[in-house]
């Protein structure tokens, strides 16, 4: 049985277990609207191309404080209060020959609809979110929708859908997860809102992080007319590469036959932060320029670390493991940034490496098609083979790294992306690499439609040692509806001392520069340069 600490559950799920604070009401010229149709199953929702509608149901919900069940091994999300009455519309789709039954749910507020549609992305192997994301969306006046892609909304367990009875990859359900369900959600969600309110959606938005970030990029790449604005954070693009590369820390630990404790890993992180803290001109407990940090873990050899009452000595073998994890698989992909926690991809307990479930499942079910495959035995040579096989077999299916965004640019869409520089699950270098490819492919003026913000010290989909964006959705709404492109992205977090820290994140490739005076915890003490 998979046993995960509550802390690691949050790391794995990212935004999925957090209230989506980005979904606050924003000013709009769109007049508030009320429903023109009854909340009844008589609603007629047309099927997207290549799909058939199996059923449509609609149930009126009273709103108030909405609670959500736990999804073991994960705890229940926090309740959402102040949710208005809404109509819950459920459309079940099937794709001929696929044998699937994909649900699209739309929560439509009975009053004070802003004319906007908001699609919510998923996390890990869950293609969508039928809980907090929809509650927060409808609370902010959106008609909010999500999808299950035709399989259970389980973040980690793919055993019920990944393989057919004959042990082969279930290609239709993989296609649903990779791309098809997201477009279906856009088409069905906007159509359901139009049927319910009697008028077309004025603006449509996507909001997601991690898997949801990948889905947002997928929309810009393959369905450029679906959404006016997209927020895609910490995106799991390059999925066919990243999903195997995320296994690299475990391979290193097992192959080097050396298992540093959590305390020892933390000591390396703290030492790297101390050594590279001032690279951005200010000591604030955050590596502001991780790409410039070259601190050598060998400098910690011989240091004593107190861990659970025991005194441990950092060894050359410990430093070698850390160095390889930071370097990543040379010639293949990236490693963890210095300053990122090891407790996501390189967690250890009881003298053994703890598998990262998302990567583990990808290798077992999709690459090897052997659910019992033991990833702890993977050698360096086998790792390289798995990496190349995954890319060759699934790059076109779920790579989500097509850099030609010219169609999205032509459609007038706006893509806002951010990534924590201390992301412990998805390597931010992959996002930067993709951005550079877009610049080379599309040419000048990329910032006219696609802006990337890097958040020093921020973790996966959330703040960490450094602050995370407070309201990226509001920023993209202003960009779409008012033509005000975000020059900076307000961010906030809590430092190690419990004090609030604010920053204005700079759009890539600019970085935040300390003015040389003022409170280092205050955004006003920095400029972009």
206-242 per-position pLDDT tens digit: 999 999 999 999 999 999 999 999 999 999 999 999 9
Does the active-site annotation cover 423? yes
Give how many domains the chain has, as a whole number: 3
Check pLDDT > 80 for residue 21.
no
Catalytic hit among 146, 181, 204, 210: 210
Tokens encoding 81: 């209060």
Task: Specify whether 50 is located in the same domain as 123.
Answer: yes
- pLDDT number for residue 429: 97
**pLDDT tier for residue 103 given thresholds of 50, 70 and 90:** very high
- pLDDT number for residue 72: 74
Catalytic hit among 148, 226, 284, 423: 423
Of the residues 355, 389, 422, the one at which a domain ends: 355
Task: Specify whether 214 is located in the same domain as 279.
Answer: no
Mean pLDDT computed over 445-459: 97
Mean pLDDT computed over 472-483: 98
Mean pLDDT computed over 492-509: 93
Check pLDDT > 80 for residue 99.
yes
**pLDDT tier for residue 37 given thresholds of 50, 70 and 90:** low
- pLDDT number for residue 41: 75
Which of 56, 15, 114 has the alpha carbon at shortest distance from 426?
A: 15
d(CA 291, CA 299): 19
DSSP letter at 365 equals I
Q: Residue 356 in contact with residue 253, Cβ under 8 Å?
A: no
**pLDDT tier for residue 496 given thresholds of 50, 70 and 90:** confident
**Which stretches of 253-338 are assigned E, i.e. beta strand?**
304-307, 310-313
Task: Specify whether 211 is located in the same domain as 318.
Answer: no
pTM exceeding 0.75: yes
SS3 504: strand
Task: Specify whether 262 is located in the same domain as 330.
Answer: yes
Check pLDDT > 50 for residue 26.
no
Task: Specify whether 66 is located in the same domain as 169.
Answer: yes
Task: Specify whether 196 is located in the same domain as 213.
Answer: no
**pLDDT tier for residue 30 given thresholds of 50, 70 and 90:** very low
Mean pLDDT computed over 450-465: 97
- pLDDT number for residue 509: 96
State which residues form the domain around 66. 1-201
Assess if residue 446 is contained within a domain: yes
Does the active-site annotation cover 34? no
Tokens encoding 201: 């959606």
Does the active-site annotation cover 151? no
CATH code of the domain in which 231 resides: 3.40.50.1820
d(CA 310, CA 262): 13
Mean pLDDT computed over 251-257: 98
Look-up: residue for tokens 């959330």? 462
Task: Specify whether 218 is located in the same domain as 288.
Answer: no
Task: Specify whether 429 is located in the same domain as 351.
Answer: no
Catalytic hit among 204, 460, 495, 504: 460
Where is 450: in which H helix or E strand? strand 450-455
Check pLDDT > 50 for residue 177.
yes
- pLDDT number for residue 12: 52
- pLDDT number for residue 75: 87
Q: Residue 504 in contact with residue 515, Cβ under 8 Å?
A: no
Q: What percent of the chain has pLDDT over 90?
A: 87
Mean pLDDT computed over 293-315: 95
Assess if residue 366 is contained within a domain: no
């Amino acid at each position: 049985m998979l046993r995960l600490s509550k802390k690691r559950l949050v790391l794995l799920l990212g935004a999925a277990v957090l209230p989506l604070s980005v979904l606050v009401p924003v000013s709009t010229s769109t007049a508030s609207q009320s429903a023109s149709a009854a909340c009844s199953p008589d609603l007629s929702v047309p099927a997207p191309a290549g799909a058939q509608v199996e059923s449509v149901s609609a149930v009126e919900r009273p709103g108030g404080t909405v609670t959500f069940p736990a999804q073991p091994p994960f705890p229940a999300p926090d309740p959402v209060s102040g949710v208005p009455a809404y109509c819950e519309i459920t459309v079940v789709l099937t794709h001929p020959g696929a044998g699937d039954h994909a649900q699209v749910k739309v929560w439509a507020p009975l009053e004070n609809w802003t004319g906007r549609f908001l699609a919510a992305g998923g996390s890990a192997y869950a293609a969508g979110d039928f809980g907090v994301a929809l509650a927060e969306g409808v609370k902010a006046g959106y008609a909010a929708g999500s999808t299950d892609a035709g399989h259970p909304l389980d973040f980690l367990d793919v055993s019920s859908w990944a393989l057919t009875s004959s042990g082969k990859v279930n290609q239709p359900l993989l296609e649903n997860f990779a791309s098809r369900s997201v477009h279906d959600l856009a088409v069905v969600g906007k159509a359901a809102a139009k049927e319910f309110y009697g008028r077309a959606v004025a603006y449509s938005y996507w909001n997601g992080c991690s898997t949801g970030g990948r889905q947002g990029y997928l929309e810009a790449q393959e369905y450029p007319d679906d959404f006016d604005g997209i927020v895609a954070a910490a995106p799991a693009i390059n999925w066919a590469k990243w999903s195997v590369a995320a296994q690299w820390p475990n391979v290193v630990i097992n192959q080097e036959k050396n298992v540093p404790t959590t305390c020892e890993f933390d000591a390396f992180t703290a030492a790297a932060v101390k050594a590279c803290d001032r690279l951005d001109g200010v000591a604030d407990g955050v590596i502001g320029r991780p790409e410039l940090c070259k601190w050598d873990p060998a400098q910690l050899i011989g240091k004593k670390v107190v861990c659970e009452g025991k005194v441990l000595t950092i060894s050359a073998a410990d430093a070698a493991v850390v160095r390889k994890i930071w370097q990543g698989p040379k010639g293949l992909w990236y490693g963890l940034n210095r300053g990122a926690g090891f407790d996501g991809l390189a967690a250890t307990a009881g003298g053994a490496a703890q598998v990262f479930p998302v990567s583990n499942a990808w290798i077992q079910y999709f690459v090897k098609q052997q659910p019992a495959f033991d990833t702890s035995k993977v050698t360096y040579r086998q790792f390289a083979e798995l990496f190349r096989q995954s890319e060759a077999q699934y790059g076109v299916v779920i790579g989500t790294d097509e850099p030609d965004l010219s169609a999205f640019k032509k459609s007038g869409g706006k893509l806002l992306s951010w990534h924590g520089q201390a992301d412990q699950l998805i390597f931010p270098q992959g996002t930067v690499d993709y951005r550079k490819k877009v610049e080379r492919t599309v040419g000048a003026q990329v910032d006219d439609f696609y802006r990337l913000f890097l958040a020093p010290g921020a973790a996966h989909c959330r703040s960490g040692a450094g602050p995370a964006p407070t309201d990226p959705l509001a920023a993209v709404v202003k960009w779409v509806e008012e033509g005000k492109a975000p020059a900076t992205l307000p961010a906030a977090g809590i430092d190690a001392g419990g004090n609030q820290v604010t920053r204005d994140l700079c759009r890539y490739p600019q970085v935040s520069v300390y003015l040389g005076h003022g409170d280092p915890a205050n955004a006003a003490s920095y400029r972009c340069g």
